[in-house]
Structures are given as C-alpha cells and as structure tokens.
Amino acid sequence: MPLKTKSVNNPLLKTLTGLRGNPRACVFTEPMWGLSMNLCLPYASVYMLALGLKDSEVGFIATVYMLVQVFSAFLSGAVTDKLGRRKTTAIFDFISWSIPCLIWMQARGFWFFFIAALFNGTMKITTNSWDCLMVEDAEKNQITRIYSLVIICGQLSALFAPISSILVSRLTLVPAIRILYVNAFVVMTAKLVILYAVSRETGTGMVRMRETKGKSLFTLLRGYGGVFRIIAKSRGTVFSLVVAALVGAVAMVNTTFWQVIVSKKLLIPDPLLPVFPMFRSVLAMVFLFTIVPWLARLTLRTPLLLGFGVYLAGQTLLILTPVSGIFRYVLLCVSLSLDGFGSGTLAMLAESLVALHVNKEERARVMSIQHMIIMFATSPFGWIGGILSGISRNLPFVLTICMLVLGIGVTVLYYGLYPGELRVGGYAHEDGKEAV
C-alpha cells in the first residue's frame, strides 16, 4: 500500500517548492545577495566615518546614490526592452554591484565613495530588468508570495552575520570590511553568471526586443509621455507610488543612520553591530512565514496600517533607548523586533502594490517611470538625514517617524475614499476583477 505524502500547507513553502523557470532562477539565486552585500551593509556608514567622512558627507553620498537611481530608473525601461531582461540584468548587476565593491574595498576617502555611488546608482536598471525577468512568466496569484520569498532570501544573510563580527573583532573595522567587500565582489559576480546561465528571456521580453530592434534609445525614451498617462489614469498606481516612496525614504534613512546612532550615541561595540540586524532578519523571516500569509487574506488596508504602526513603534523606541546600561540591549532588541515586522511587511506590500498595477504590455517602461518617481521622491532624504544627524543622532529617526505617520494618514484617506479595494491574497481589484 503506497505511503501518503503530507502536503505542504504553508503558502510560502508551497510557492517555493512549486516555482519553475525564471521565478525559480531569480528566487533561488537571491540568497547569494545576502552572502555578499548584506555582510557589509551593517558597517557601511560606520566604515565611511572610520575613513574620515562626516555625517553630512555620509548623507550626501546617500543622496547622490539616490539621484543616480532617478536617472537610471528613467533609462531602465528602454534599456530593458532594447537588450532584453536577461542580458540587462547580467550587464548592470556587474556595473552596479561588482565594480563598486572593488572601489569600496580600497576606499581612502570621500571621492572613492562618491565614484562608487555613481556606479552603484545604476542598480535601478537591473532592479527593473530583474523584476521583469522574475514575474513576467509567473502566475499572477504568485506575485505577492514571490516577493515575500525574495525578502526572506535577502534576510538569510542573518545566519552569517557572526562572520562579520569575528572579522571585525580580530582585524578591527576597516581591514575586516575591506575583506568583506572582496567577498561581495566574488559572490555577486558568481550570482549574475549563474542567473544568466539558468534563466531564459521572458515572452514579453522577446516581443519588446523585436519591437525595439533598430530603434535608438532616444527614440524609445520619447514615447514615455504615454507611459505617464497610463500611470496617472490608475488611482491604485498613484497610491502604490506614494506608499513605495514613503517606505523607500524610511528605509534609506534607517539603513544609513541606524549604525551611526547605535555606534556613536548608544556606544554599542563595533563587533556587535551585525548581531542586531541578524536578530531583526531572523524575526522578519519568521513573520513572513507565519503572520504575513494570514495578513494576505485581508484587505490591503489592515496589513498596511499594521506595518506602518509597528514600524513607527520600533523607530520611536530606538530614540528613547538610554545611552548606557545593560537595559539598552533589551530595548534595542524590542525595537528591532518591531522594525523587522514593520519593514518586512511594508517592503513586501510596496513591491507587490507596484507590480500588481503595472500594465503587462508596457511593464518595463511603466516600472521604470515608477522607480524614477520613487527615487526622485526619496533622494533628498539621505542629505537631509545627514544634516539632522550632525545636529543630533536622534533627528533622522524623528524624520522617519513623521513619514510613517504620513503613511498611516495616506492609507486611511485612500481606503476611506475607496473602501474595500485591493486585496493582497487575490480578491478585489479597483476594476472589480481579480488582482492576483
């Protein structure tokens, strides 16, 4: 008598085991991002300060990075259509990640980071092409879960955070981070090679490559007027852009200045800096596997408000944490628990909202304009955060608190005007059709 196999009940695990083709290639190679860049990111701002940069210069570098993203986002749709999703991803992954890693590895001062930011900012081109590569051939009812899996894969670096701590404690900060950037170069380059080898051009990508053959990049960019009209006609798209811009601005300020407040104000030893993001990442993965699938059954209003509210509580607790005593470690862990849930939920929802509203035939160009708008809206906040941090380490997080409150207000207003719209798990859409 044959044995009965137990089916996978968790929706994320079910999606993971059922992935095929390009979605499988993109999701399964994504953990390599965590094994490369995410080992460096907990120290990025502190590394700059250790090499002599001021808080305002760190913020300025973040703003330059964002402004280049605005420009590259504008180009990304035309480039992605012209070269194809697969080739664009490979080329610009190397330009935007592999090359900057080599610059960061040997950085000596401000201009190294400035030049690296110019290369790194082109990542919006590969963000667009990679998104198209991942979701264009996917079932629409998988999109939200695929983005959840991507976020989880990015968080897997938490398991390797002790490597960073050990290196810093043994070698001191600067030599250790230089080694981690060498590792990031090797792993990220391997990632793009593997993804290119195991993926295939999407159906929509092949159509767009044929349609754009023989046309110059300038000619393709001239057609963007119609793309703006497509975006403006969809209230759901406009709402998704506002949410994504707020989430992006909060994430940029939090990512850039969290290490600064923890290291310089709360005086947490450098070897412990990766431990707290590791704790946040583990919690984010737990939340995405457990609570978020339950939230996906609800209208978008509930998880959005919950994400903004919990994130707000985490940021508030961070600036209230005392600067001495063992109790500050406890409060930091609680703050990061709230941040992990809030940021993970909002990141998934923001990405999904944008992807769900894209016109399928014009996905690359519409998403390029969406990314450009989001980057343009968020770009000043790195510089603003740097100025605020120079005045007080708390002020960048007062800024994020204000933005999260604004997010709550926008969500309440939108769903007050259009109740019942947009469910994450796949039910009502603004036109009455199934969303996912």
Q: Convert the pLDDT of each residue in 299-311 to its tens digit.
A: 677 888 988 999 9
pLDDT tens digits, residue range 344-390?
A: 778 777 776 666 656 566 666 677 777 777 777 887 887 888 888 88
CATH homologous superfamily for the domain 15-417: MFS general substrate transporter like domains (1.20.1250.20)
* pLDDT for the residue numbered 421: 60
Full-model pTM: 0.68
What is the residue-wise DSSP string for 187-212? HHHHHHHHHHHH----HHHHHHHHHH
With a CB cutoff of 8 Å and minimum separation 6, the contacts of 414 are: 239
Can you list the residues of the chain whose pLDDT is less than 70? 1-10, 141, 155, 157-158, 161, 223-227, 274, 277, 288, 292-299, 352-365, 420-436
Report the largest interatomic distance among the alpha carbons of the chain, rounded to a whole angstrom.
73
C-alpha–C-alpha distance, residues 193 and 174, integer Å:
29
Cβ neighbours of 280 (radius 10 Å): 25
What is the residue-wise DSSP string for 206-230? HHHHHHHTT--HHHHHTTHHHHHHH
Q: Which amino acid is at 134?
A: M
Sorted by where each begins, the domain ranges of the chain are: 15-417
> What is the token pair recorded at 143?
């999109």
SS3 assignment for 85-141: HHHHHHHHHHHHHHHHHHHHHCCCCHHHHHHHHHHHCCHHHHHHHHHHHHHCCCCHH
φ and ψ of 208, to 5 deg: -65, -35
C-alpha–C-alpha distance, residues 348 and 410, integer Å:
18
* pLDDT for the residue numbered 114: 96
Handedness of CA 377, 129, 339, 237 (dihedral sign): positive
Report, in angstroms and rounded to the nearest whole number, the Rg of the chain calculated over CA atoms.
21
* pLDDT for the residue numbered 428: 38
Q: Which residues of 151-173 are buried (b: 16+ CB within 10 A; e: fewer)?
A: bbbbbbbbeebebbbebbeeeeb
* pLDDT for the residue numbered 18: 79
* pLDDT for the residue numbered 430: 40
